[in-house]
Amino acid sequence: MILLVILVILAALVLFAVWPGAKREDLRAPFYGRNYAHRGYFGKDQRPPENSLPAFAAAARHGYGIELDVQFTSDHKLVVFHDDTLDRMTPGKGFVHDAAWAEFSAMPLAGSDDHPPLFADMLRTVAETNPATPLIVEIKSRHEYTKPYLEDLCRATLAALKAYPGPYCIESFDPRVVGIIRHQAPGVLRGQLSDSYRSYRHDGTHPVPAYVLSHCFGNFLGRPDFIAWCPDKRNWAVRLADALGAMPVMWTALPEHNTKQLEAENDAVIFQWYEPVEKYK
């Protein structure tokens, strides 16, 4: 009897942790059944570079949705850039959040003539090209960021998006960010990004947080509308969240994947390095 009670309590705790938000079909509709250009529409040769204004304009011209990443510079300029560090995409070294905007904006992206853009400039470029383009905006986070810092980051992102004429939603790997968006903008579609346990461990994450994050146990903070999952097979917790009503989203589809199957299994697909149809459902 005691064992049964313990099992019931554990099951209830798991459900509480994993349960997504209620289905909000009106908010999901603009994002449903579409392909989203990952960091804009760019090639393997980084021409145009990822997360550059030409890449975003190209995606909008093709009629794709766009997935992009935002974070702060040291002087709290909201910029579009994926990596935590400057090293891969620019000649600089160190963290983006330690670089001032004047220095950061002067750096070429992947040896090109393009430079990292402000989020406001990205929004303006897409709006001028195709104002109906749906956006999936990822708010970048790190474990050492404090709640006030993340609140400022979320607030700045939402403020910039108010000027955008098309549909937009927000996602993050950090459940704290999804929770902040839930409170700051309850009427905005929000999503929990997640990766496989294997991938988290490969990146050096401790086994406990790796399991918690990969199994979406932080959903109780943000009650996300969608779960954006990696190419690996969905684990039991992500499948449970889908069964409980979360909108399934996939990142990042590549040419070597079975892209038609991914479209069949997901309500939205974030893709890179190939040319899919704009809408598949």
Measured distance CA(53)–CA(136) in Å, rounded: 16
Quote the pLDDT of residue 3.
83
In a domain, 203, yes or no: yes
In a domain, 281, yes or no: no
Q: How confident is the model at residue 205 (pLDDT cuts 50, 70, 90)?
A: very high
| Strand bridging mode 268-271 / 247-253 | parallel
Q: Which domain holds residue 248?
A: 24-271
Q: Is the peptide bond before 48 cis (omega within 30 degrees of 0)?
A: yes
Q: How confident is the model at residue 263 (pLDDT cuts 50, 70, 90)?
A: very high
In a domain, 54, yes or no: yes
Percent of the chain with pLDDT over 70: 100
In a domain, 135, yes or no: yes
Number of domains in the chain: 1
**pLDDT tens per residue, range 169-201:** 999 999 999 999 999 999 999 999 999 999 999
Position of tokens 């970048």?
140
CB atoms within 10 A of CB 245: 14
Domain of 36, CATH number, reads 3.20.20.190
In a domain, 241, yes or no: yes
Among the listed residues 34, 33, 43, the one whose alpha carbon sits nearest the alpha carbon of residue 272: 43
Among the listed residues 38, 66, 62, the one whose alpha carbon sits nearest the alpha carbon of residue 277: 62
In a domain, 172, yes or no: yes
**pTM (two decimals):** 0.97
Measured distance CA(220)–CA(178) in Å, rounded: 10
In a domain, 43, yes or no: yes
In a domain, 7, yes or no: no
